[in-house]
Structure 1
Amino acid sequence: MDSKSPLLPRTRSPSPMPRRHRFRRFHAAAFVFVLGLFWLAVNWQCTDPTHNHGGEATADKVPLEVHIMSKCPDARDCLQKFVLPAMQNVSDKVVFRLSFIGQTTDSDDGVQCKHGQTECLGNILELCAASLYPDPKLYLGFTMCMERDYHDIPAKELVQDCALEHGLDFDKINHCVSQDDGSYAMGMLRDSVTRSADLNVTTSCTVRLDEKVRCTVDDGVFKNCPGGKKPEDLIRDIKKLADAARGWTE
């Protein structure tokens, strides 16, 4: 992937907003400054693009992580038939994370993808969506929209249509992809691929619940699903783990 040119066409930077108001008194300016620092401290975990978008359990939630390749039909089937129906029912009980499978190398900007560099770009687009819109309802919907037409990834029209359908800003995603001549987004992909490798995940799609493999989809077949391969089975397991995390028992 050529790191010297943006992965998608660059858009013009917006003109700076004119400064219409000035505080004349020192104490008023100091108040605004302190308030701004407080806001940043409260919201840092939501706005920092390097923040882990899931994977760590909280007091009453359990980690649910899905490892995919963006141009893989098994990723589409896994999300559509298993993960999304479950998330529609128990998204409030999990900390969701989407990770990608590939291979780190000393060339190709450090990452190779099984289905070529267009898949690497598809992975990056979906990572950028997750970084900019941490709510799984938004970025998982965008990802599913892309996966339905995985053959066309990363066509600009597809990305624009999926962004519009799920309320995401295409220009923001575009900026994320091309930021620092692509090195920023490539770093996210490299970290994601490294994570999957460290967890010994090589199959797209692999679903991990509570740090354990819950199910895999390979060549259109659901495998290694000891708790069942239907969405209601995953919902049941998530509810049971979340209740246990709260200290509830039947």
Structure 2
Amino acid sequence: MTEISKENRVNISKMNYKWRLIIILFIVLTLWGLVHLVYNNRRQPEPQLGLSDKIKISVHYEALCPDSKYFIIHQLLPLYKKIPEHISLDLIPYGKAKTIESEDSITFQCQHDEIECYANKIHACAIDLVQDPLVQLSYVACMIKNNQNPDGIGKTCAEIYDLDFTPILLCAKGQKGSLLLKGHGERTHALNPPVHFIPTVEFNNSQNLKPLKLILKNLKEAVCGVFKIKPKGCDSD
């Protein structure tokens, strides 16, 4: 039997190494392709809305969440003022809370303690009672600036927007406020995929039309991008 020379062994080793690299590269590319395919299939096709259409923006937020505060004040409210006829608002104050029911009571555990649960109730009652969407959103944005004193800021913001704070307060302190917040909790817990970041924002009842990262960074770009022809307010700063 002819002995393989040292030089041939080296050449064979190099060839085996190249083939291993080729196989590894093929596997990596195949896996990447599968991931990309699954992701694209999971993402729903972006709607192309007309100028007569509205996009529903559902915001799952918390009254004492800094990211919720920033999004509502600096993203949602300014954009809504620009294109109110193209946005249907849907505000859901609850976040990463927990609803605890007994035979005669409904209580809540919130991410930022009891004061947030109470502030969430005031938000929920205001959303239920204030019918004008711009006033509703403006009131929520006003309150979320300083929700550490829910009663105080709630009354102050009601005076700013010429609202009667008494029915909002009675709602928040009564059974209705608890039932409203419970309802927001049921909606939040039903999200698929589940909440992992607050605020979580849906477009037309879906988390898959636009990435949350884009929505939170540039809501205007995310919203205006779903219209065939951009609404007039999309062109202004």
TM-score interval for Structure 1 and Structure 2 normalised by the shorter chain: 0.5 to 0.7
Q: Secondary structure at 1:105's aligned position in 2?
A: strand
Instruction: Kindly indicate whether the alpha-carbon contact (under 8 Å) linking 2:126 and 2:168 is maintained by their aligned counterparts in 1.
Output: yes
- The total of aligned residue pairs comes to 173
Q: Determine the C-alpha separation between the residues in 2 that align with 1:78 and 1:106.
A: 31
Larger Rg: 2
1:238: Cα distance to partner?
5.2
2:161 equivalent to 1:166: yes
What amino acid sits opposite 2:181 in the alignment?
Answer: L
What amino acid sits opposite 2:135 in the alignment?
Answer: L
CA RMSD of aligned residues (A): 2.6
Alignment gaps of 5+ in structure 2: 1-51, 232-237
Aligned position for 2:138: 141
Q: Secondary structure at 2:178's aligned position in 1?
A: helix
- Per-residue CA deviation, residues 46-82 of structure 1 (Å, 9 max, x unaligned), is xxxxxxxxxxxxx832211111010111111111222
Aligned position for 1:229: 217
Structure showing the higher helix proportion among its residues: 2
Counterparts in 2 of 1:121 and 1:61: CA distance versus 1, 3 Å: same
State which of 118, 123, 127 in structure 2 corresponds to 1:126: 123
2:103 equivalent to 1:103: no
Matches within 5 A, 1:66-85: 66-85=59-78
Instruction: Kindly indicate whether the alpha-carbon contact (under 8 Å) linking 1:68 and 1:203 is maintained by their aligned counterparts in 2.
Output: no
Aligned position for 2:185: 193
Counterparts in 2 of 1:231 and 1:85: CA distance versus 1, 3 Å: farther
Instruction: Kindly indicate whether the alpha-carbon contact (under 8 Å) linking 2:224 and 2:230 is maintained by their aligned counterparts in 1.
Output: no
Q: Determine the C-alpha separation between the residues in 2 that align with 1:116 and 1:91.
A: 34
Q: Determine the C-alpha separation between the residues in 1 that align with 2:146 and 2:216.
A: 27
Instruction: Kindly indicate whether the alpha-carbon contact (under 8 Å) linking 1:93 and 1:239 is maintained by their aligned counterparts in 2.
Output: no
Q: Determine the C-alpha separation between the residues in 2 that align with 1:197 and 1:127.
A: 16
What amino acid sits opposite 2:145 in the alignment?
Answer: R
Instruction: Kindly indicate whether the alpha-carbon contact (under 8 Å) linking 1:64 and 1:209 is maintained by their aligned counterparts in 2.
Output: yes
1:132: Cα distance to partner?
0.8
TM-score after normalising by structure 2 = 0.65
Aligned position for 2:9: none
1:94: Cα distance to partner?
2.1
TM-score after normalising by structure 1 = 0.62
Counterparts in 2 of 1:173 and 1:242: CA distance versus 1, 3 Å: farther
Instruction: Kindly indicate whether the alpha-carbon contact (under 8 Å) linking 1:90 and 1:239 is maintained by their aligned counterparts in 2.
Output: no
Aligned position for 1:153: 149
Q: Determine the C-alpha separation between the residues in 2 that align with 1:111 and 1:209.
A: 27
Q: Secondary structure at 1:168's aligned position in 2?
A: coil
Instruction: Kindly indicate whether the alpha-carbon contact (under 8 Å) linking 2:73 and 2:141 is maintained by their aligned counterparts in 1.
Output: yes
Q: Determine the C-alpha separation between the residues in 2 that align with 1:78 and 1:95.
A: 17
1:90: Cα distance to partner?
1.8
1:137: Cα distance to partner?
0.6
Instruction: Kindly indicate whether the alpha-carbon contact (under 8 Å) linking 1:163 and 1:169 is maintained by their aligned counterparts in 2.
Output: yes
Q: Determine the C-alpha separation between the residues in 2 that align with 1:62 and 1:144.
A: 20
Q: Determine the C-alpha separation between the residues in 2 that align with 1:232 and 1:139.
A: 20
State which of 37, 56, 64 in structure 1 corresponds to 2:57: 64
- Give me the identity figure in percent: 25
Instruction: Kindly indicate whether the alpha-carbon contact (under 8 Å) linking 2:121 and 2:178 is maintained by their aligned counterparts in 1.
Output: yes
